[in-house]
Amino acid sequence: MMGQGRVAAWGIGLAALIALPFVYREPYHLHILVLILIWSFAYTSWSMMGRFGLVSLGHGGFMGIGAYVTALLWNHLGLSPWIGIPISMAAAGALALIVGYPCFRFRITGHYFVLVTLALSGIVLQVITATRDYTGGSLGYTPNRTSGNKLLALQFDDKTTWYLIALGVWLFGIVIWHWVDRSMARYALEAISEDEDAAAAAGVDVTAEKLKITLLSALMTALAGALYCQYQMFITPDTVSGIAVSLQMVFAAIVGGLFVSLGPTFGAIITILLAETLRIGFGTKAVGWDNLVYGVLLVLFIIFLPKGILGSLLDRLKPQRKVPRAHEQEAVQAARPGT
Amino acid sequence: MGMQGFLDIFDIYLLEAVINGILLGGVLALLALGLNLIFGVIDVTWICYAELVMIGMYAMYFIVQVYGLSYFVAAPFTILLVAVLGAALHYLVIAPLLTAPPINQLLATGGVLFVLQSFATVAFGIDFRNLGIRLPVLAFGDMNFSYARLLSFLAALVGMVAVYLFMTRTFTGTAIRAISQDRQIMALMGVDTRRIYLITSALGGALAGLAACLLVLQYDVHPFVGLSFGPITFLICVLGGLGNFIGGFIAAFVFAEIISLGGLFSDLEWGYVLAFAFFIVMMFIRPAGLLARRR
């Protein structure tokens, strides 16, 4: 259970976050905050699976489906995002089940699982590019501006509204993270990530447990994609889908720390601030530089700090907190080569 | 034109697509071989493999187009360059992570994918470039085949035979095969595993370099070109069974046929989509890979 102090800290922090846009209205900074919140939600969604050793590089695909299906339904059928977003989430969920079921049923794990999911995000990108008559291909796609009810179209001009929406969704993600953290599913999934056969022998339904967390993760990621699209009002296959977006999720979650609830959020803050700093620093020459720095940092982090910044900091602060679980111990050992 | 005439033409298109699929399969098999070699010996998956090919394609472009050397002079340089890159990738990224969980090694090569892509973007820009070599089209009856594809197919076959001979006829090749069977025991037998890993990585890189020399004849190079054949290479390796050379070889031709025949009816991208759908179906039928003989 959470201690009194932690509840108070969360309460004060949340109150401050909600109050922020009413006292501070600088549009550029609010824009960065909205982006951080939306991507934090996406990274948290990825880490729901990633923390149990289910490393998926297919999440770029789920995010792309969330963004494009919502926008396409709005533009072509005039379907409000309030209906379009659940449909897009269902589509991403269905795809997750179609790919996930054979993977889990037939014990496709480790390298195999990563490569299959990697191909999935590559294929979603190909489909979006191939259906260029509808999606605009690699040139990108813009949802039509509404002339009617803004709430119905989920299009708002002011940053404060978007900030509050993004904050709500982000908080929802953190709550789900904690809900899973305290559920029986967590113990089952941890057992599976240590030894699938032993877990199955102990009565864990391996396929069902993995499918549940994959479905949850895919649904949340699609929601993140749809929100990103509604906020930015412009999407391209490269910014919401594909291998690069999947790797970006992995990178942020690892930099922040996979095994703590605020790790992915921390990762989003670091990566987005880094990208913005590089963009301002390099100006128009920035194309590519941010990803170059990302890539180098990702390699360095995996070699030297696989538990992430926040995870390592928490460990340092509370050295005798608890005995690390076996898969974390492995990561700790990897962090100190030579021991 | 009567019904019979229509069928004749359809058959010829079909045959042309089937043969083009076989030609495409050669290069895909070469790519799969490199990846399988690395996985089989070092137990690592380089998800930046297609990006190494992309760098090789740029090397070909610069040596041929900018420095004006002949294609056949440029090819050995490119193969050597990518081989060095492969060895460097192992030395700098994989070697420090050999005792880490396998997933960490894989993700680190994901970081390298980012680095190579953005390096190409920063250094060369996002323009599409090509060699400017236009090879003739071979007419055979009513069918047309690109000379470049035929050449690629033959060169890929030669490359694969060379690897086979190296693996079976030389001492180093034998040591590589031995290590892929038992990683621990070979060190006790006096084989320097670190050296073997470096050689294998260089060999994997060289195969990527060869693939680059062949692909640059058919496709324009740009920083994201790796994304158009990387995913399909991974599917081939998984379907054939990671580390299974023969499985990868067969799977490459199966996928190439699907892509080629799928492309007959619509765009090439839909061929990829069909290939992916086929892959999902195959996972239900033969989950342990095409040849179902995982290590």
With CB atoms and an 8 Å threshold, state whether B101 touches A287: no
Q: Which residue did the predictor score with more confidence, B186 or A212? A: A212
**Minimal Cβ distance to B234: which of A110, A119, A125:** A119
* Mean pLDDT, rounded, of chain B: 84
What pLDDT was estimated at residue A330? 46
Cβ–Cβ < 8 Å for A42, A63: yes
DSSP string computed for B16-82: HHHHHHHHHHHHHHHHHHHHHHHHHHH----TTHHHHHHHHHHHHHIIIIIS---HHHHHHHHHHHH
CATH code of A24-136+148-335, in short, is 1.10.3470
Compute CA distances A135 → A84, A246, B263, B270, B274, whole Å.
16, 20, 20, 15, 20
What pLDDT was estimated at residue A2? 55
CA distance to partner chain B, nearest, from residue A141 (Å)? 19
b/e for A135-151, b at 16 or more Cβ within 10 A?
bbbeeebebeeeeeeee
With CB atoms and an 8 Å threshold, state whether A289 touches B122: yes
CA distance to partner chain A, nearest, from residue B268 (Å)? 8
What pLDDT was estimated at residue B77? 95
Domains of chain B: 3-285 (1.10.3470)
Q: Which residues pair with B137 in a beta bridge?
A: B146
**Minimal Cβ distance to A122: which of B97, B114, B230:** B230
Is the dihedral angle over the CA atoms B113, B115, B119, B121 positive or is it negative?
positive
DSSP string computed for A91-145: HHHHHHHHHHHHHHHTT--HHHHHHHHHHHHHHHHHHHHHTHHHH-GGG-B-PPP
What pLDDT was estimated at residue B3? 52
Mode of pairing for the β-strands spanning B137-140 and B143-146: antiparallel
The span from the CA of A129 to the CA of B269, in Å, is 8
| pLDDT higher than threshold 80 for residue B231 | yes
From B112, B60, B119, select the one nearest B86 (Cα to Cα). B112
What are the domain boundaries of chain A?
A: 24-136+148-335
> 């081939």: which residue's tokens?
B236
CA distance to partner chain B, nearest, from residue A30 (Å)? 28
CA distance to partner chain A, nearest, from residue B230 (Å)? 8
Residue of B nearest to A335 (CA): B100
From A32, A34, A7, A1, select the one nearest A227 (Cα to Cα). A34
Instruction: Tell me how many helices (H) and strands (E) chain A has.
Output: 17, 0
What pLDDT was estimated at residue B264? 67
Q: What's the burial of B229, exposed, middle or buried (CB within 10 Å: 0-12/13-18/19+)? A: buried
With CB atoms and an 8 Å threshold, state whether B104 touches A306: yes
Residue of A nearest to B109 (CA): A299
Among A249-253, A331-335, B15-19, B185-189, the minimum mean pLDDT is found in A331-335
pTM for this entry? 0.83
Residue of B nearest to A243 (CA): B227
Q: Kindly indicate the confidence band of residue B119, based on its pLDDT and cuts at 50, 70 and 90.
A: very high
Q: Kindly indicate the confidence band of residue B4, based on its pLDDT and cuts at 50, 70 and 90.
A: low
Tens of each residue's pLDDT in chain A, 339 residues:
557 888 888 888 888 888 888 888 788 899 999 999 999 999 999 999 988 989 899 999 999 999 999 999 999 998 999 999 999 999 999 999 999 998 888 887 877 888 888 888 888 888 898 888 888 888 889 998 888 788 888 888 888 899 999 999 999 999 999 999 999 889 999 888 888 888 888 888 999 999 999 999 999 999 999 999 999 999 998 889 888 889 889 888 888 888 888 989 999 998 888 888 877 877 666 677 877 887 888 888 888 877 777 777 777 776 554 444 545 544 433 333 333
| pLDDT higher than threshold 80 for residue B99 | yes
Give the residue-averaged pLDDT of B144-148.
Answer: 76
Compute CA distances B66 → B60, B63, B217, whole Å.
10, 6, 16
Q: Which residue did the predictor score with more confidence, B105 or B49? A: B49
